[in-house]
Amino acid sequence: MTQSSGKYGIGIDIGGTTFSIGVFDANGALVDDGSYDTPVTTDADAIADRLANTAQSHADGRPGGLGNVVGIAVGFPGPVDPGAGVVKKAPNVHCLEGYALTEALAQRLGETRVHLQNDAYCATLAELRWGAGKDVENLLMFTLGTGVGGGVAMDNQVIRGPRQILGEVGHLIIVPDGRKCGCGGFGCLEAVAAKQGIIDLACRAIQSGRKTLLIDLVDGDQSAITPQVITEACRQGDQAALEVYEQVAFYLGIALCNCIVLTDPDIIVIGGGIAAAGEFIFEPLKRTVAARSPISGYDVSKIVPATFGNDAGIHGAGALAWEHA
Ligand SMILES: [Zn+2]
């Protein structure tokens, strides 16, 4: 398949308050996109109308219209039943809970094939097909942000398991009996290494009374600490800030070591907003894996940043649209 096939896949990435649509050619090039407000409504059909109409208008903007669309895929920020095309839980768009979204879209878009998957699955698929993992078949992905997501690809397929939990790396238990996690468990990676866990580490450093730029950069207001502030303090050589990422990278590194022996990945891709800390997190992360996975002798140069940063959702949905073409 080449660009000249004239075919397109359409990806829809649903967020809390907005959704994005991207039109992709067979090589994964984004040829058209747009971002829109998700209707504020308790009527799931109204949301399906809006998604379908917007996808239709993007298709109409290409030669051949919907006739040249190989598939439409939705990446959803929560658990889904991909086989049935049903949203299982929708914390941000409540009315979609239990809703047969693919069927609703397919009805509105004629014969076009529609697919639904969890956004972490989609992000992993995008890296496998079009991103950092396009030359390998076995990939492990970690996405560090408000939560910790991830995915596993083996033998060139992203796998999720019969209960759709395979690859939920945010809930690997890293600190037994540690902080409570949103899932109800304790000491999950997400509880200690996602955004809030990182901010709490920084606040604890400040509260310990040690001298740190962290508090100067927010003019004394601890509630203004963000990962960006911590990264800036690192850039200025602040030891307390460097230790925050050292600790986070340690937790993450232990998770990686465990996943390496379980999945034997050719490459490990790190995405999400926290990955923007760059070497402040990658260097201690690689050091941890090198020191603590002697059985794998893992080549830590294979731990790389994700290709698709803020656009992971839309590229993921686009890759899923093409996956079934
Ligand atoms: Zn958890």
The stretch 59-76 carries a mean pLDDT of 95
- Taking the C-alpha atoms of residue 143 and residue 129, their distance in angstroms, rounded to an integer, is 17
Q: Which two tokens stand for residue 297?
A: 């002798």
Q: What fold does the segment set 3-125+312-323 form as a domain? A: Nucleotidyltransferase; domain 5 (3.30.420)
Average pLDDT of span 157-166 = 93
Taking the centre of ligand 1 as the mean of its atom positions, its distance from the CA of residue 93, in whole angstroms, is: 22
- Phi (first) and psi of residue 93, to 5 degrees: -130, 75
- Cα 185 to Cα 171, 174, 257: the distances in Å are 8, 11, 21
Quote the percentage of the chain above a pLDDT of 90: 92
pLDDT tens-place string over residues 267-292: 999 999 999 999 999 999 999 999 99
Task: Give the pLDDT mean for 290-302.
Answer: 96
Check residue 110 and give its pLDDT.
Answer: 87
Question: How far does residue 177's CA lie from ligand 1's centre (Å)?
Answer: 12
Kindly indicate whether the domain formed by 135-305 is annotated with CATH number 3.30.70.260.
no
CA–centroid distance, 80 to ligand 1, in Å, is: 18
Q: What is the pLDDT of residue 266?
A: 98
Cα 92 to ligand 1 centroid, rounded to whole Å: 19
Average the pLDDT over each of 2-6, 63-67, 125-129, 221-225 and give the range with the smallest value.
2-6
CA atoms within 13 A on the CB side of 284: 16
Q: What is the pLDDT of residues 84-101, one digit of tens each?
A: 999 999 988 899 999 999
The set of residues, in sequence order, having a beta carbon less than 8 Å from that of 307 and lying 6+ positions away, is 126, 127, 130, 131, 132, 269
Rounded to the nearest angstrom, the distance between the alpha carbon of 298 and the centre of ligand 1 is 26
| Gap between the Cα atoms of 26 and 6, Å rounded | 8
Average pLDDT over residues 102-125: 94
Give distance in angstroms: CA of 144 to centre of ligand 1: 14
Give me the pLDDT at residue 2, please. Answer: 45
Residue 118, pLDDT > 70, answer yes
How large is the average pLDDT for residues 246-256? 98
Q: Report the pLDDT value the prediction gives residue 228, as an integer from 0 to 100.
A: 96
Across the range 214-240, mean pLDDT stands at: 97
The pLDDT, as a whole number, for residue 1 is: 44
CA dist 12 → 4, 16, 56, 226, 299 (Å): 23, 13, 12, 29, 35
CA of 186 to the centre of ligand 1 (A): 7
Q: Are 115 and 320 in contact (CB under 8 A)?
A: yes
Say how many Å lie between the CA of residue 181 and the centre of ligand 1.
5
Ligand 1 center to 174 CA (angstroms):
10
**CA–centroid distance, residue 188 to ligand 1 (Å):** 5
CA 89 to centroid of ligand 1, rounded, Å: 16
Question: Mean of the pLDDT values across residues 204-215?
Answer: 96
Tell whether the model's pLDDT for residue 3 goes beyond 80.
no
How confident is the model over 72-79, as a mean pLDDT? 94
SS (H, E, C) the chain: CCHHHCCEEEEEEECCCEEEEEEECCCCCEEEEEEEECCCCCCHHHHHHHHHHHHHHHHHCCCCHHHHEEEEEEEECCCEECCCCEECCCCCCHHHCCCEHHHHHHHHCCCCCEEEEEHHHHHHHHHHHCCCCCCCCCEEEEEECCCEEEEEEECCEEECCCCCCCCCHHHCECCCCCCECCCCCECEHHHHHCHHHHHHHHHHHHHCCCCCHHHHCCCCCHHHCCHHHHHHHHHCCCHHHHHHHHHHHHHHHHHHHHHHHHHCCCEEEEECHHHHHCHHHHHHHHHHHHHHCCCCCCCHHHEEECCCCCCHHHHHHHHHHHHCC
For the chain, residues classed under CATH 3.30.420.40 are 3-125+312-323, 135-305
Length of the chain counted residue by residue: 325
What's the whole-number average pLDDT of the chain?
95
